[in-house]
Structure 1
């Protein structure tokens, strides 16, 4: 059974240093990317397995590629950043990811549950971590009237299928 590790406890205001650390980490990933430019076609190709189809979520739910870069100091690994939009009541089917994932909530509230652990609700400014291979049983907008968004940062093997939906 996998245990969810959280950077912030559910429904608590994150500390300023934690918020700054998350922003600094994203800024560093983007700075590395500026030194290693990729075309949008390459990014889209790397993210194609991640993006959900209408059969896997509501039409208001979508995954938007932001960037994807090889990690020069970790051969064979890639960092990929996406924005996940959930419409009111939106959700993703149960799934797992190939690598480590850190999610940072930018709008609304997200309900999340990993591998039989407790369901937790995260608000704007909070984050959670998914270890490689974790089963993400619940990933959903906590609201049925407002939209929600998160930024997900993946670190996975080069060429790995980032998301696999479960039957």
Structure 2
């Protein structure tokens, strides 16, 4: 069930403090797509500790499908409404989407998502898996 939360003060919904924990990121799979030459499907398992937040970012031109595996996450893309998604729910990020908020909704429980990215092979070939997440310049010192 996707539901919209009331507009929260910026400090409650954004990534404003380097003191908030960061999620851990693990490559779950990477397959070249034979029917789409030059493209790969890459699965990224993201584990959000309690109260963790990801800085605003984009995904190097990738199309991204996300499934919430555990817990609840706060999600805001572009100028869309902020949403809370729970286990079993999903969302889609179109290429060049600006992911403004991607946080664990809970301050006490872990949340996990599986992000499947369809991306140009050259992104990973040239920059490694770290090139899949392009963090906003303001937070360039943050490394996932």
Short-chain TM bin? 0.7 to 0.9
Alignment gaps of 5+ in structure 2: 4-17, 124-130, 138-144
Aligned mate of 1:87, from 30, 49, 57: 49
Whose strand proportion is higher, 1 or 2?
2
1:71 & 1:56 partners in 2: Cα distance?
39
Structure 2 counterpart of 1:67, from 15, 29, 48: 29
Of Structure 1 and Structure 2, the greater helix share is in 1
Which residue of structure 1 aligns with residue 111 of structure 2? 148
Is the partner of 2:88 in helix, strand or coil? Answer: coil
Q: Map of 1:9-158 to 2, 5 A cutoff?
A: 10-11=2-3, 58=21, 61-98=23-60, 99-158=62-121
1:21 alignment counterpart: none
Alpha-carbon RMSD: 1.6
Rounded Cα–Cα distance in structure 2 between residues aligned with 1:72 and 1:10: 34
Equivalent residue number for residue 165 of structure 1: 135
Per the normalisation by structure 1, the TM-score is 0.65
Give the length in aligned residue pairs.
115
Unaligned runs of 5+ in 1: 1-8, 12-54
CA contact (8 A) 1:102 1:129 kept: yes
Helix, strand or coil at the partner of 2:122:
coil
